Structure 1
Amino acid sequence: MKYGIDVAKWNGVIDWSKVKLANISFAVLKVTNKNNRVEEAFERNYAGATEQGITVGVYRYVYAKTVEAAKAEANAIVQALSGKKINFRVWLDMEADSIKNIGKSRLTEIINAEADIIQAAGFQVGIYCNTDWYRNVLDSESLKSRFPFWIARYGTNNGEMQEKYSPEAYAIAWQYTSSGSCEGVNGKVDLDVAFSEIDVAPVVPNPYTHKVGQTVYYSSYYDRATDDISKAKFAGAKYKKGTITAIVNGARNPYQINSASIYLNDGDIREVITVKASDAKYHTVKAGQNLTVIAKMYGTTINAILKMNPSITNKNVIKVGAKIRVK
């Protein structure tokens, strides 16, 4: 078990040399604020902690209510961490009252949207929350198949660790008080322990078997990229056919089909359909037609057409009389 603190600008100017002498092995630093700007103490705290050899993680208080807002939060984090070594994960802090009642499904979508971007940049992701959020607000059973949890659970919050409140059975880290004290930090500070390794490897994109643009037959599928095998759905008596339109890095079921809520893993795919040159189909653009209209005509997607026609640089501009491949 290793000891740590988590801090933000509210903790003032920290003497990290004294923190190191206080047997602190890791520090989790607030990285960005509500406005997606770098937290004003972050650079100072990052420099001070790393100079002392303290392992660093970061956290972001999540406010996003939509996937688009989640992506904006994630992109701000990635930009702030450019060139930095973050060994103890990027923690998505799930505790904002403003998003507490938007539903487990939406919260899972938001978490996954942020994590996909952060992990694509090479950083490991975890979820921070209290026991109420873990048990009642989040779909923790689903989420813990992809993310470790850091749990806030204080007991009487007297500044001391109270073992009977330990979440070690379901978390890798525990924030055991918000009323602690630590040499080098003025006033009260959050104190933490880690039950597992604090120095984790960066994310390396998986060498996926299949690629975007491939058309495949599949026998089963999932509604979400993060669903475990218990949520697999049978595709039907005959295999279904679809085109891989996206790959979700790090997910259990990484292959998204037809830009829809259909996700596959390698075990779901039965055959890759190879299109022979003689089977290729072309369409001559007529007046009033755009890619949306043409895609519907041939039962395909705009993205699939764009991949077959790299000469189309603007999906909103296609010339009348142009011959484009649609299959």
Structure 2
Amino acid sequence: MRKLVDVSSYNGVVSWEKAKTYGCQGAILKIIRKDLNRDKKFNENYAACNENEIAWGVYNYSYATTATKAKSDMELVCDILDKIDKTHFEYGVWFDIEDKVQASLNKTKIAEIINAAQQVVEKRGYLFGVYTGMSYYNEHIDRKLVKCNNWWIARYYNSNKRMQIATAPDQEKKPDAANIAWQYTSSGRFPKVISTGNSGNFDLNVVYKEPTSKKVEETKKTPAKTKTVYYPKYRGKSSSIVDALKSLKINSSKKTGRKLQL
């Protein structure tokens, strides 16, 4: 079981060296914003994690309301990852679905969005997981429709009370669906303040096992059924194939016609 933080520009400048010293064993970094530009601290954060040998992954807070939008957003995420130093990239790509824009959709549509995102990410060669809150999961996710096996679930059982990173969360409060990771507080603290944003607070998580890969195959269209067309026998006297074809009318009955051999 490892202790991780998830971080965005909201956390400001993070001293990753101190984070590691105080027990941080990994990080999930916000990679893009709503406007699809990189999170303002992403470049700085992933480079510092590599420098300090901290395992990291990325998450995209999604606003997608269609499978097409989810695909295009995750293609962008993968484009960014393809071009950067991934020396300590270990925790894959997480699809954060919790916004109110998706809450208005039915479970089938939400499943289509998640499956589309997974299809892109795994096709590009990266591990894929889903992050959401426990109540959102219970209300909007149908696991029979969603293909993903990796779930990172948020449940804050300690209200807004601050929790030190060294303090183990109460495992009896862990959501059953959180098979990979559990985000147990948004008021996590280190022994000393190590960041310039969010009043020094961090989201704290425990990771129970490594994410696994499960390929989502593209939906294949069923080939259209072919139909043999039969033509009536030509009974004219002309030797011209043009004249023969002009005189023919399509007849699908095998009893009155035969295949036209040219």
| TM-score of Structure 1 vs Structure 2, range by shorter chain | 0.7 to 0.9
Q: Which amino acid aligns with 1:149?
A: W
CA distance in 1, matches of 2:57, 2:179: 16
Partner of 1:308: none
Equivalent pair of 1:154/1:175 in contact (CA under 8 Å): yes
Percent identity for Structure 1 against Structure 2:
32
Equivalent pair of 1:5/1:26 in contact (CA under 8 Å): yes
Q: Which amino acid aligns with 2:220?
A: Q
**TM-score for the superposition, normalised by structure 2:** 0.74
SS in 1 for 2:44: helix
Equivalent pair of 1:70/1:114 in contact (CA under 8 Å): yes
Deviation at 1:37, TM superposition (A): 1.3
Partner of 1:191: 204
Deviations 1:110-134 (A, max 9, x none): 1111111111111100000111122
Alignment of structure 1 residues 79-118 onto 2, 5 Å: 79-83=79-83, 84-85=85-86, 86-118=89-121
Partner of 1:52: 52
CA distance in 2, matches of 1:140, 1:8: 28
Q: Which has the higher contact order (CA 8 A, sep 6+)?
A: 2
> Does the alignment pair 1:139 with 2:104?
no
Deviation at 1:69, TM superposition (A): 1.2
**TM-score for the superposition, normalised by structure 1:** 0.60
CA 1:259–1:165: 2 relative to 1, 3 Å: farther
CA distance in 1, matches of 2:90, 2:19: 18
CA distance in 2, matches of 1:168, 1:47: 34
The number of equivalent residue pairs is 210
Long gaps (5+) in structure 2: 164-168, 225-262
Equivalent pair of 1:32/1:77 in contact (CA under 8 Å): yes
Q: Which amino acid aligns with 2:74?
A: A
CA distance in 2, matches of 1:40, 1:96: 21
Q: CA RMSD in A?
A: 2.1
Deviation at 1:256, TM superposition (A): 1.2
Deviations 1:216-249 (A, max 9, x none): xxxxxxxxxxxxxxxxxxxxxxxxxxxxxxxxx9
Q: Which amino acid aligns with 1:63?
A: Y
CA distance in 1, matches of 2:222, 2:19: 52
CA distance in 2, matches of 1:254, 1:121: 13
CA distance in 1, matches of 2:173, 2:143: 19
Partner of 1:245: none
CA 1:53–1:104: 2 relative to 1, 3 Å: same
- The ranges of structure 1 where at least 4 consecutive aligned residues each deviate by more than 4 angstroms after the TM superposition are none
CA distance in 2, matches of 1:23, 1:99: 35
Partner of 2:215: 250
Deviation at 1:146, TM superposition (A): 2.8
Partner of 1:121: 124
Partner of 2:78: 78
